[in-house]
Amino acid sequence: MTLRQGLEKLRRSGYTAIPVIDSEDRYVGVISEGDFLWNILAHNQELDEITLKSLEQLSVRDMLRHGKVQPVCISTDMEALLDQAKSQNFVPVIDDRSVFIGIITRSDIIKYFASVWP
- Average pLDDT of the segment spanning 87-115: 93
pLDDT at 108: 94
Of residues 23 and 55, more confidently modeled: 23
Q: What number is the average pLDDT over the span 70-89?
A: 91
**Continuous segment of H or E residues that includes residue 113:** helix 106-116
Question: What is the reported pLDDT for 118?
Answer: 74
pTM: 0.79
Residue 47 pLDDT > 60, yes or no? no
Q: Reply yes or no on whether the pLDDT at 78 is more than 60.
A: yes
Question: Could you report the per-residue pLDDT of 60-72, keeping only the tens digit for each?
Answer: 887 776 667 889 9
The answer to whether the beta carbons of residues 82 and 113 sit under 8 Å apart is yes
Cα–Cα distance, 32 to 16 (Å, whole number): 6
What does the pLDDT read at residue 92? 95
